[in-house]
Chains A and B, each alone.
Chain A
Amino acid sequence: MEDFVEIKPKGKPLKRIYLNLMLWFVGRAIQASAKVDKKVKQEFEDLPKGYNFALGAFPNGPWMVVGKDDDGRVRYLGRNVKDKTIDLWMTLKSVEALFLLFTFQESTPVSNARSRLFVEGDLPHACAVVRIMDIVQVYLLPKFIAKLAIKRYPRWSLKQHIIGRILVNARTLIGY
């Protein structure tokens, strides 16, 4: 047939670089928040030991893997999903959907409502991860951006806002 062409569409390198950076930062921020914030600590205590979850884009990532080891410590485990046992997969249907999430054009509940997010694993644990990410985003982002990223902006004390942010951001950069 004359008008037939076969095409293998290429990738989106710039968006991939941006998303890798964001996921790296958020992963380390989750690790930091688990030591700073009481609610995040409590959420992780309710998860079983050795529990790993991954957030990323279908089909080939980028991915963020965070886990709780046998000692109960929360660690950012990198972006490689192949050599790990993942108990909870939170997958966005495309790199574009993940990009919408991490440029805060859509919050996680809106993304879920628009069928961009699917979960393989325990649903209560997925809800816990969403709550953790909401708290982390409040620590990382200024208020006018965080309000776009989460469902409801929390009422925290000034001390928690200032000191919590300093500690989470510093620990995120250091990686401790």
Chain B
Amino acid sequence: MTTIDTVELAEKNPDEEQPYAELGLQADEYERIKEILGRRPTQSELAMYSIMWSEHCSYKSSKVHLRQFGEKAPKSDRMLAGIGENAGVVRVSDTLAVTFKVESHNHPSFVEPYQGAATGVGGIVRDILAMGARPIAVMDQLRFGAVDHPDTTRVVNGVVQGVGGYGNCLGLPNIGGETVFDPCYQGNPLVNALSVGVLPVDRLQNKAAAGVGNVVILMGAKTGRDGIGGVSVLASATFEEGSEDSRPAVQVGDPFTEKLLIESCLELYDAGLVVGIQDLGGAGLTCALSETSSAAGLGMRAYLERVPLREPSMLPHEILASESQERMLLIVSPENVEAVLAVCEKWGVLGTAIGEVTEGERLVISWNEHVVVDCPPGSLADDGPVYARPLREPADLILLQADRAETLPRPSDLRATLLTLVASPNLCDKGWITEQYDRYVLGNTVLAQPEDAGLVRLDEESNLGIAIATDGNGRYTRLNPYEGARASLAEAYRNVAVTGAEPIAVSDCLNFGSPEDPAVMWQFAEAVRGLADGCQELGIPVTGGNVSFYNQTGTVAINPTPVVAVLGIHEDVTTRTPMGFAEAGHTIALLGETREELSGSEWAWVEHGHLGGQPPKIDLGHEKKLADVLRAADLVSAHDLSDGGLAQALTESVLRRGIGATVTLTGDAFVALFSESAGRVLVTVKDVDALRAAAGDIPVTVLGTTGGDKLTVEGQFEIPLTELAEAHQGTLGKLYG
């Protein structure tokens, strides 16, 4: 029989040695915990502090930088909830609000790709649900290792099936995302997931456990020994002689339970039965109990023996650290408990009263009469350590930036170069992946992959909709983190704008290496500064997001990869602009200016394995004007130019509906086709004079006309659409199909 470490024992044996270092706590952090408590922590308290003070939960290395998102945020009267909440909420009409957030599930997805990715989707959907919203769509941002590495097949198949499996079972459309291959992600694939939900403005929920005497209800799945990685693995392995069945396990998701959780929560919100709510994510009950009570500035009394367990042998610290999926914590007033439990029963989910809100700022947790935790909840949730870690520009950066791709030898056969590039892993058609996802379920999807942004209708009467796009470019950010982050923001902004939507808010998922490496920390600081400055310039606030550090193998970090999601409002989705050429006889024009910008480009990477120089110049003032033009002008199609440049945009536009094109390029044809200058959009119109009039000072270059069954570049080459399609669409199926 294991002895349970109680508060009483902690007082009796103050000098007992504790495995704080194995749990990831520093010696001075451990001393601070003792100071806060006035004694040594119990085993359960130590587990809780190690979790809540971990990088993942406390943002201890990133906090000092992330403040800029608040400080520099443009004033927005749309913002109903921002950073620090489960997800940001923005008002989109008098009655409706939208909440969205992108989050990482990188490390679990390397260990067990299917479940890692699936529970990543499940986790972000619960964040959205916790704000009072009905989740209406998901997106995924994936980065894998080298396309031909043997382990990549395992990760790609698992992750894609996991994202699809969970999202499809929940009945949520997957409306877009990104897939990038690069050897830097070999041991650290990035699996980011975004969810978006919609709510009536007055249904907004918050997490504060307010109201002394209110009841704390745990809802959803039973609690098991789920949770791998970081603190919780070590938590159990160190405390006991790690026998097989006490070791924490990979979290397995159950989308059907999540679906029931969604429906029951929404019913509870509508009935006005919920005072506060928080989803149980990475840090399980530990996080939910401490954050809800801390947010209210009150105390809480919880009884762990009441928590429904999958394995009865679980000990208190395991129950607190468990990362079992599909659980929510509700704060309910006593007279409503019965009604809440009745709703749970109706939907077939477990609902259990496990404690109550108390006076005074103390979180007291007991297990079978033993008090195992007695601490101020704020010390767990808000007063974690904050580090201003040393920053140093990477030693190789000057050399890297001097090694410009503009000086590389250029091809003479542009036809062959185009066919190679459009078939390359990052530019090829991602249909093999997106066809595994349900993109149109619920019947409100207007645009989905391969379109530039996902567009979803919110209201059938007014045709109000929202557009979301996500972008991240690790290579640009490696070359120049400040500009790279702004480039990702500009691209996502432009992708939303091409549909005709007005960008209004930003969420981000910042994927970086170890914060203890000053070079990585410098990249992080620069990227955050770039993103915050960029949002200020564009006049759209960051409403929330997530930081994922320690994405590295040994001392080699991934390319810094900030993934930026931009949300826009579309006043009437029936007037949206799609990306593909619609019919023959339309004029093709390019908005924006093409410069000789090849550094960090797909061409340099695919043809030369080259990464060096400075990423394309970003002009956010121009992006803003461009977005206005895209909304005002009468466009048949509009497609953003980014990775792969004009060649890629033309390829995607002609293949979308099988309408060919004939174009004439001015200046250097190679640069015109493969430069990745930002701020450009390929459009088709019926009336080019009207376009010029609408474009104001945005340069308009007429390229040619649509029609035929070939892509013809005058004086250079022509490619039949069948040949182009074969090159563009065959890649992933051949590799993983």
Q: Please say whether chains A and B are actual partners in one complex.
A: no
* Chain A positions near chain B (C-beta within 8 angstroms): none
